[in-house]
Structure formats: structure tokens, C-alpha cells
């Protein structure tokens, strides 16, 4: 770095070089120098104002990932509280090093990276997705990579949920259409079998075969009923009821049916829990999900059922399900500490006939039915799961307005 002119020796050197007297240098050079310094200070203040107040996170790193400089917005995105610590972007914040190495290779010379989605991990361990622009710059003869980034995690999550909601709606319409047609065929088959049974002259074998046909028709009719529930083509009668009471009655059934090694734990944190719903349908949901939770813990464990209230605003609704209405909700959390559900299976668990259970141990309609019931009650079911840690289902139902 060049040293500023500070001493008489410096003036002597300049005087010898340009043949000027010291007083002349003081009079002609320093006012210009002072003016230049003031101009540079003003430019520096402008730059710092833009840098520090930018809404985008700005980060500069060396080629090996060491932090060179960053702004307050970047601190918020990555949750950096200790600004004196020496961070390495590649080692401390990246979840996939190889992808980023490729990005750094692309970002050289005059090449610019724009709108690249990158997975990062904040200092608190939470994964986020950022939209990143980058280019290479030279600072004091050193090549620096400059990034501009925004946290788009919520936007990506909301977009994925919207796509999933639209997908489930399309599957529901398809299931509803097929179910109606299939139900008509089943009715015809069962009706024909009944007519044959009405003939007293038929022998025992034919009667047995007709019984098998009618029994199979009833099983098929039950499946179509579940598909119709999933597709929300049919809506049972509803009354105003207490979700806590529905839960208590469901627990009374579960205590007699679940594996004794499963310990049911109920917590009611609500001040209000009245919803407009069908008691039998909601009990079906709770029992179905509790059984799933118990089966996920083959060695037993705690199955927690927690009721609480919440107020959902527009931003939360957008993240959860755009079809929901803003307002007060009661949430039922059903949490197990079992095997968990893998990322590849998680987006499909509410689809009809999709199951991760062994063959013969499930039709894949249990959670599809639950999904249809909750949607028909103008609510939503949300799931989070980690392999080896457990699964938590959260059912949001709108509170019935007080008179």
C-alpha cells in the first residue's frame, strides 16, 4: 500500500523531483490533495451506505472460500452473530461442496452467474435455499468472488406446496370420476347376484358363488367410498363439536386397540376448540393416524397428541395452502418417535393406493381418506418427518366463530 505524504522529508523528495520550493508545494499541492481526499471520503460514504443498507446479502470470498467482506443483510440470511470469527463459505455454509466448486469454476474472468439456486446451511443448522448472482472482481491485486444473494426458502416451499395441492386436486378429480363409474358397475354386479339368489331353484354352489360376488362388491364399494371421500365429491353432515371431546373419545378406543407398548400422551393447550365437523369422520382420521404412528414404533414409545390454537395470516396461508382462509385455527399435532418417512416418499403419502407398508398390510387409502376428510372440513394436514427420529402430522381446522 502507498504511504501518504506526511513529513518534511517527503516534501524534500518532491521538491528535488519537481524543482519547487517547499512553500510552493504547500500552497499548490496540498489544497488539491485535500480536495481529492474529501472527494474519496464522500464516495466511500456513498459506497458504504449502499453496501450496509442493501436488502440483498453481499458476500466477498477468496477462491478458497475465506470471507473477505460481507454486509449486514448477509449476516441476517446466514445468522452470523460473531463478525470477528474467520468463516469459510465452502466449509461452514455449503451442503454440497462439489456443486459449488463447479460454480466457482464458471465464475472467472468476465463470466457472470445469475439466478442460481444454491442450498446452504445457516450457523444455527437450518437449511435454506438462496438465489445467487456472482462475478469475479479484483481487489488490491487479489481475485475475489462477489456474491449477491436472497433467501428464497419460503418462496420455494410455497411453490412446491401449491404444485402439490394442484396435483392432489387433479388426482382427486380423477379418483372421483373413476369411483362414480366403478360404483355403478358394482351396483349392477351386486344387483344381478341378488336377483339370482331370489330364484329358489338354484343349487347351493351357485348360492355360494353369489355370496362371494356380493361380499366382494361390498369390499369394492367401501374402497370407492374412501376414494369419494378423498376426492371431496361427497360431504357428510356436520355439527359444531369440541375437537378435544372427539380426541378423548378416540383415545378411549385407541387405548384398547393399540400395542400396549405405545404410550398415549395428550396435551390440550387450547382456549377454544369448537369446529364445524362430522364426528365420525374426524374420529376416523384420528384413529387412522394414531395407528400409523404406533406401527412406526414397533418397539413401542410415546405417541403425543397435542391441541393448540393459532392465528394464520396471509403469509402463513400462502406457505401452507393457498386454498385456506385466513383466521383462527385449532391444530392437532400427532407426533411419533418412530422410523420416519424418507424424503422420496413424503410427497406421495396422501395419494390413493400409495403405501410404504409390506404387501398385504395396507391398501394405501388410509392417509388418502384422512386427506380428503380434512380438506372437506376446510382444513389442511401438514407433515414433517426425519428418518430415525420420527414423524409429526399437524391437522389445521378452522375454529367455529363465537356468537
- Residue 92 CA to residue 94 CA, distance in Å, equals 6
Q: Using alpha carbons, list the distances in angstroms from residue 389 to 336, 339, 374, 394.
A: 9, 7, 26, 17
Whether residue 127 sits in one domain with residue 183: no
- 67-70 sheet: strands from edge to edge: 67-70, 57-61, 142-151, 127-139, 112-121
The band of 172, judged by pLDDT with boundaries at 50, 70 and 90, is: low
- Provide the CATH number for the domain around residue 274: 3.30.565.10
Instruction: Say which residue, 171 or 261, is predicted with more confidence.
Output: 261
Q: What is the pTM of this model?
A: 0.53
3-15 pLDDT, tens digit each: 444 444 444 544 4
205 assigned to some structural domain: yes
Q: What is the mean pLDDT of residues 69-75?
A: 86
Mean pLDDT of the region 154-177: 67
Q: Is the domain of 257 the same as that of 389?
A: yes
Q: What is the pLDDT, as a whole number, of residue 203?
A: 85
Q: Are 245 and 259 in the same domain?
A: yes
Phi, psi angles (nearest 5°) of residue 124: -90, 5
Assess whether 197 and 286 both reside in one domain. Answer: no
**Is 68 contained in some domain?**
yes
pLDDT score of 359 more than 60: no
Q: Which is higher by pLDDT, 122 or 322?
A: 122
Band (pLDDT 50/70/90 cuts) for residue 17 is very low
State residue 189's pLDDT score. 82
269-313 pLDDT per residue, tens: 999 999 998 888 888 888 888 988 888 898 889 999 999 999 988
Residue 138 has pLDDT above 50, yes or no: yes
* Domain-embedded: residue 31: no
Average pLDDT score over the chain? 77
- Domain region containing 383: 239-398
Angle between helices 204-231 and 153-197 (to 10 degrees): 160
Mean pLDDT of 119-131: 85
C-alpha cell at 380: 389442511
Q: Specify which of 68-82, 327-341, 347-361 reaches the highest per-range mean pLDDT.
A: 327-341
Same domain, 100 and 163: no
Q: Within a domain: residue 17?
A: no
Q: Domain boundary at 151, 170, 194, which? A: 151
**The C-alpha cell of 53 is what?**
443498507
- How would residue 179 be classed by pLDDT, with cut points 50, 70 and 90? low
Please report whether residue 6 resides in a domain: no
| Per-residue pLDDT reduced to its tens digit, 216-260 | 777 677 666 666 665 554 555 788 999 999 999 888 888 887 888
* In-domain check, residue 23: no
Helix (H) or strand (E) holding 120: strand 112-121
Residue 99 in this model has a pLDDT that exceeds 80: no
Confidence of residue 315 (pLDDT cuts 50, 70, 90): confident
Do residue 296 and residue 366 come from a single domain? Answer: yes
Residue 32 lies in a domain: no
Average the pLDDT over 152-173 and give the result. 69
Q: Are residues 125 and 209 in the same domain?
A: no
Asked if residue 39 has pLDDT above 80, the reply is no
Q: Which of 186, 207, 231 is the last residue of a domain?
A: 231
Average pLDDT of 43-56? 73
pLDDT at position 96 is: 64
Same domain flag for 178 and 218 = yes
CA atoms within 13 A on the CB side of 76: 13
Task: Report how far apart, in Å, the C-alpha atoms of 137 and of each of 51, 70, 103, 134 are.
Answer: 16, 15, 15, 10
Per the structure, how many domains does the chain have? 3
Give residue 3's pLDDT. Answer: 40
For residue 83, the model assigns a pLDDT of 72
Residues listed for the chain: 403
285 and 311 in one domain? yes
Q: Report the range out of 78-82, 165-169, 260-264, 367-371 with the highest average pLDDT.
A: 260-264
The residue among 232 and 39 whose pLDDT is bigger is: 39
Mean pLDDT calculated for residue range 149-165? 75
Q: What is the CATH number of the domain that holds 101?
A: 3.30.450.20
The answer to whether residues 182 and 115 belong to one domain is: no
Does residue 190 surpass a pLDDT of 60? yes
Is 192 part of a structural domain of the chain? yes
More confident residue, 362 or 75: 75
Same domain? 224 vs 272 = no
Instruction: Decide which of 231, 249, 284 is a domain's last residue.
Output: 231
Domain shared by 316 and 388, yes or no: yes
The percent of residues above 90 in pLDDT, for the chain, comes to 12
Amino acid at each position: 500500500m502507498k504511504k501518504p505524504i506526511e513529513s518534511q522529508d517527503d516534501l524534500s523528495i518532491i521538491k528535488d523531483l519537481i524543482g519547487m520550493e517547499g512553500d510552493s508545494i504547500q500552497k499548490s499541492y496540498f489544497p488539491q490533495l485535500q480536495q481529492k481526499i474529501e472527494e474519496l471520503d464522500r464516495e466511500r460514504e456513498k459506497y458504504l451506505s449502499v453496501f450496509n443498507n442493501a436488502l440483498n446479502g453481499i458476500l466477498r470470498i477468496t477462491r478458497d472460500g475465506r470471507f473477505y467482506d460481507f454486509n449486514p443483510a448477509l449476516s441476517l440470511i446466514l445468522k452470523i452473530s460473531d463478525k470477528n470469527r474467520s468463516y469459510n463459505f465452502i466449509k461452514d455454509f455449503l451442503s454440497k461442496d462439489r456443486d459449488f466448486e463447479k460454480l466457482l469454476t464458471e465464475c472467472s474472468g468476465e463470466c457472470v452467474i445469475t439466478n442460481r439456486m444454491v442450498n446452504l446451511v445457516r450457523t444455527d443448522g437450518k437449511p435454506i435455499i438462496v438465489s445467487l448472482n456472482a462475478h469475479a472482481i479484483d481487489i488490491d491485486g487479489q481475485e475475489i468472488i462477489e456474491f449477491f444473494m436472497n433467501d428464497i426458502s419460503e418462496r420455494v416451499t410455497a411453490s412446491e406446496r401449491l404444485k402439490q395441492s394442484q396435483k392432489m386436486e387433479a388426482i382427486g378429480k380423477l379418483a372421483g370420476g373413476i369411483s362414480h363409474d366403478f360404483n355403478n358397475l358394482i351396483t349392477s354386479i351386486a344387483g344381478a347376484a341378488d336377483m339370482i339368489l331370489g330364484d329358489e331353484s338354484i343349487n347351493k354352489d351357485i348360492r355360494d358363488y353369489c355370496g362371494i360376488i356380493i361380499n366382494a362388491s361390498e369390499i369394492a364399494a367401501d374402497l370407492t367410498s374412501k376414494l369419494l371421500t378423498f376426492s371431496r365429491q361427497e360431504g357428510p353432515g356436520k355439527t359444531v363439536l369440541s375437537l378435544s371431546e372427539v380426541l378423548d373419545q378416540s383415545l378411549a378406543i385407541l387405548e384398547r386397540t393399540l400395542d400396549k407398548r405405545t404410550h398415549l400422551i395428550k396435551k390440550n393447550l387450547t382456549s377454544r376448540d369448537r369446529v364445524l365437523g362430522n364426528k365420525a369422520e374426524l374420529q376416523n382420521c384420528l384413529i387412522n393416524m394414531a395407528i400409523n404412528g404406533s406401527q412406526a414404533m414397533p418397539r413401542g414409545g410415546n405417541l403425543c397428541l397435542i391441541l393448540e390454537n393459532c392465528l394464520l395470516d396471509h403469509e402463513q396461508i400462502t406457505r401452507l395452502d393457498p386454498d385456506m382462509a385466513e383466521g383462527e385455527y385449532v391444530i392437532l399435532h400427532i407426533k411419533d418417535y418412530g422410523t420416519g418417512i424418507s424424503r422420496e416418499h413424503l410427497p406421495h403419502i396422501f395419494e390413493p393406493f400409495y403405501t410404504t407398508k409390506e404387501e398385504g398390510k395396507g391398501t394405501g387409502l388410509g392417509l388418502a381418506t384422512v386427506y380428503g376428510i380434512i380438506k372437506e372440513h376446510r382444513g389442511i394436514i401438514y407433515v414433517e418427518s426425519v428418518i430415525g427420529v420420527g414423524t409429526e402430522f399437524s391437522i389445521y381446522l378452522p375454529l367455529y366463530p363465537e356468537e
